[in-house]
Structure 1
Amino acid sequence: MLKVILSVLLLALITTLVGYQQLQATINSPLNITTPTQFEVEKGTGFNKLCKQWQAKGWLNSCWRYQVVAKLDPTLTDLKAGLYELTNTSVINNIKKINNGEQLSFSFTIIEGQNLREVIAAIANAPQLNNNLNTEQLAQQIRGEDTHLEGWLFPDTYHYHSNDTATSLLKRAAEKMQQTLAQAWQQRDKNVPYKNAYEALIMASIIEKETGLASERPLIAAVFVNRLNANMRLQTDPTVIYGLGEGFDGDIKRKDLRDYTPYNTYRIKGLPPTPIAMPSKAAILAALNPPKTEYVYFVAKGDGSHQFSTTLKQHNAAVKTYILNKTN
């Protein structure tokens, strides 16, 4: 009898060891792929369906062993829909990646100084992004207001997952701009000549487009603020270019400066009706807290920097030096 009991115990022990080894082999068995591979888990996919999909692709030999493991660890059956990058690590590790919702992440960058047309064109080429934008009612779709969306998208890099919508991404950008502008408006110099925060956003967009060197944003802001205070026209080329829209061929002509558009600041006084680009936080801060200077002119030197002047005589001399290549 003792021998029978010992035999049974030995058999049980051997069976347990074999089972444990098989379990370990299953847990450590790699997914049969050679390179990282994208795989989409559709909504409603269950553990057994996932296993059969991978088996059909030849990524694993059979499902029953993994079904046993899932019985021992039910958390493995909690699959989250999305696009994942699978690797040749263990099958179980890849399943846990899906359990944890570690989806592939994509990014979209709104660049400082881009205008709305450029942002929308870039959105159309963003990978794995559901472009559900209504170009006829963008402002209403993104901000819930019947205004112009230009200037309201904060320049930054935004991360998203497969099949996220363009509206959800741009809403995040709009909310960040709203928060940034509201905070900066509260900290503004009380003497700046803007009726509201939106006018500051318009000015910030002009500063952004005029700035070649980040360090010059405050001085450029000071020039434009001084011009507004002196009831001088802003006379800034970027607003003219924006007003020309897709008709701009890369060269501003005399005719363009003479023609009246709401954005031709050589013809109108004050600010144009909307921003002309997406301004950075630095441009917003410069617009709302410009340094105290007497500069009312500046001209590009050709290296990204500008020559600032307080009188027309000084400005004309700078134009001769840096634009007409003439010196006295």
Structure 2
Amino acid sequence: MVKKIILLLVAVGVLLFGYAYYTISASPAVPNDLEGPVTIEIPTGSSYEDVLGILATAGIEPDRKLLDPLAERMAWKRPKMRSGRYKLEPGMSYLDLIRKLRNGSQEAVKVVLTTEREPMNVAAKVARFLEPDSLDFVRLFQNEAYLDSIGFSPETLQTLFIPNTYELYWNSSPREFIARMIKEHDRFWNTGNRLERARALKLSPAEVYTLASIVEKESLRPDERPIIAGLYLNRIRKGMRLEADPTAVFATREFSVGRVLNRHTQFDSPYNTYKNAGLPPGPITMASVGSIDAVLNEEKSDYIFMCARGDGSGYHNFAKTMAGHSRNIAVYVANLRARGIR
């Protein structure tokens, strides 16, 4: 009888302890009175105390007498805590808080890539969204052995990046970022018969992208980009130099220049298509999807010359012959004069 009473008391004690443990662990660790969800970022290599400091800065200060034993018991506490970006809801319990941070249930960040000029600009842009410093990305982008292993070079790396908005984890490494870009690049080129169209033009995807980057810089008017693409493809087929003003600007690095002059077109650089036949070694900017598709879907014509209209519209006049081009130049000059521009 005594033994049964002892066993009963032990069972009741266990139940009471379990109930108390559950009640405490299920109580709010994140205050209920927060205005809304709180997002925290835990850098790579953070200690347990570092994480508690990050939580405190966000207005979350759990009772250490409750948190510490749970952190030990649930194997969350370790010399180097799990990094990442996490959204914490008001009223989140001790158990849920620890599980979320321990399991790495991160919130993705939106990485926005637009028409960044060069890989170093991509590095700076991506570093605004992800944990690694821009120098970490630059070092990888300049690692020729690594680039060769993924089929690119310092000159062609920019062709990897397709402008879009991508969801990645905040603590993604530069190599993880590149791996995602490779996946997106391959998906892009395998969509909409783009690879087949590139082959029909007898160009590689990198060459299409490079030409698209020139088309991108030649016109702010998307509706005339297929015409410009067709014009440049005509020049390539005829063995003519592209003589594209944006390549001379890129070669001289005078990106703010208002008008391309003789000193630009005569600048010695492999990127200057006034001095060199064919395409430059790589893109002169990140090409938009619209410009890439403009090359792949060129507007057929016999045009081989183009000249800005000079009327402020942003459009160009096109010509099949030098005589026609000369007339378009005269129109350009007259329009500039009419606008008081010399």
Runs of 5+ in structure 2 lacking a partner?
Answer: 1-7
Whether contact under 8 Å (1:189, 1:289) holds in the other structure is no
Call closer, same or farther: CA 1:139–1:204 in 2, change over 3 Å: farther
CA distance in 2, matches of 1:261, 1:58: 57
CA distance in 1, matches of 2:117, 2:153: 21
Amino acid at match of 2:298: P
Call closer, same or farther: CA 1:224–1:75 in 2, change over 3 Å: same
Call closer, same or farther: CA 1:212–1:70 in 2, change over 3 Å: same
1:108 maps to which residue?
111
SS in 1 for 2:160: coil
1:250 is the counterpart of 2:257 = yes
Number of aligned residue pairs: 312
SS in 1 for 2:317: strand
Call closer, same or farther: CA 1:238–1:182 in 2, change over 3 Å: farther
CA distance in 2, matches of 1:45, 1:274: 44
1:62-101 alignment to 2 at 5 Å?
63-64=65-66, 81-92=83-94, 93-101=96-104
1:169-318 alignment to 2 at 5 Å?
169-181=177-189, 186-188=195-197, 192=201, 194=203, 196-245=204-253, 248=255, 250-251=257-258, 252-301=260-309, 302-318=312-328
Deviation at 1:96, TM superposition (A): 4.1
Amino acid at match of 1:233: R
CA deviation map 1:242-268 (0-9, x unaligned): 1113x5552433211123322222232
Deviation at 1:87, TM superposition (A): 3.9
SS in 1 for 2:111: strand
Whether contact under 8 Å (1:204, 1:283) holds in the other structure is yes
Alignment partner of 2:172 out of 164, 167, 170: 164
Q: TM-score, normalised by structure 1?
A: 0.72
SS in 2 for 1:221: helix
Deviation at 1:155, TM superposition (A): 2.0
Call closer, same or farther: CA 1:91–1:258 in 2, change over 3 Å: same
CA distance in 1, matches of 2:66, 2:187: 53
Whether contact under 8 Å (2:30, 2:60) holds in the other structure is no
SS in 2 for 1:151: helix
SS in 2 for 1:134: helix
CA distance in 2, matches of 1:317, 1:167: 53
SS in 2 for 1:225: helix
1:129 maps to which residue?
132
Amino acid at match of 1:310: K
Call closer, same or farther: CA 1:190–1:27 in 2, change over 3 Å: closer
SS in 2 for 1:259: coil
CA distance in 2, matches of 1:69, 1:165: 27
Call closer, same or farther: CA 1:272–1:28 in 2, change over 3 Å: same
Amino acid at match of 1:309: A
Call closer, same or farther: CA 1:139–1:20 in 2, change over 3 Å: same
CA distance in 1, matches of 2:63, 2:200: 74
Call closer, same or farther: CA 1:49–1:128 in 2, change over 3 Å: closer
Deviation at 1:38, TM superposition (A): 1.8
Call closer, same or farther: CA 1:272–1:146 in 2, change over 3 Å: closer
CA distance in 2, matches of 1:150, 1:69: 45
Q: Percent identity?
A: 23
CA distance in 2, matches of 1:20, 1:76: 22
CA distance in 1, matches of 2:53, 2:101: 16
Call closer, same or farther: CA 1:143–1:217 in 2, change over 3 Å: farther
Call closer, same or farther: CA 1:140–1:182 in 2, change over 3 Å: farther
Deviation at 1:136, TM superposition (A): 7.7
Whether contact under 8 Å (2:29, 2:97) holds in the other structure is no
1:141 is the counterpart of 2:146 = yes
CA distance in 2, matches of 1:285, 1:169: 25
1:120 is the counterpart of 2:120 = no
1:3 maps to which residue?
none
Using the TM superposition, name which of 217-226 and 19-28 deviates more.
19-28
